[in-house]
Amino acid sequence: MTVAVETGLWQLDPSASTVALGHRTMWGLVNVKGTFSGVSGRGEVAADGTATGTLTLDVASLDTKNAKRDTHLRSADLFDADNHPEITFVARRAEVRDGGTAQVSGQLTVRGVSRPLSFSARLTGADADALTLDAEFTVDREQFGMGWNQLGMIRGLTTVTTTLRFTRAS
């Protein structure tokens, strides 16, 4: 079964979307979680059913429920928000396949460093006026110049979890 998505322009609904991250620290003993409240995006679905789009995150909006940690995450040691205030993902191609799974490929830019990124997403809702995509994937922060690791406390990959709701652009 192939899921059809309406062609045209789509706008991200930030009030109904979440972008969260999780990373194990303290030598794997603590899972730090955070959410970006500043999220924006848009996309376009072509007549052949493929899609392109852009998702932008405001680095300063990352909230881990710990002000001291959030300040450090925004510092030059990690996200360097003063010099790189946004994280962007440009979807060069997304295609919904059988069963509502979308294969997404594009370019992720963090701290001014761009790397290709591909992952699977689930189309969890679609009608003429709205569509929702859920995805979970991992990112190696060191590939983006985020190698700070005091006493070797931070190891492994960062998990990114998203629920993105798009509505028809007017």
- pLDDT score for 127: 84
Q: Stretch 87-94: mean pLDDT, rounded?
A: 96
Residue extents of the structural domains in the chain: 8-168
The residues that bridge with 52 in the sheet, in sequence order, are 44
Query: What is the Cα 22 distance to its own chain's centre?
Result: 12
- Of 111, 131, 127, residue with least CA distance to 12: 131
Per the CB < 8 A criterion, the answer to whether 111 and 76 are in contact is no
Q: How far apart are CA 1 and CA 94, in angstroms?
A: 17
Q: What secondary structure letter does DSSP report for 2?
A: B
Question: SS3 for 8?
Answer: strand
Domain spanning 8-168: CATH 2.40.128.110:
yes
SS3 assignment for 114-170: EEEEEEEEEEEEECCCEEEEEEEEEECHHHHCCCCCHHHCCCCCEEEEEEEEEEECC
Stated pTM of the model? 0.88
Model confidence band, residue 27 (pLDDT cutoffs 50, 70, 90): very low
Q: Stretch 66-90: mean pLDDT, rounded?
A: 92
105-114 pLDDT, tens digit per residue, is 999 999 999 9
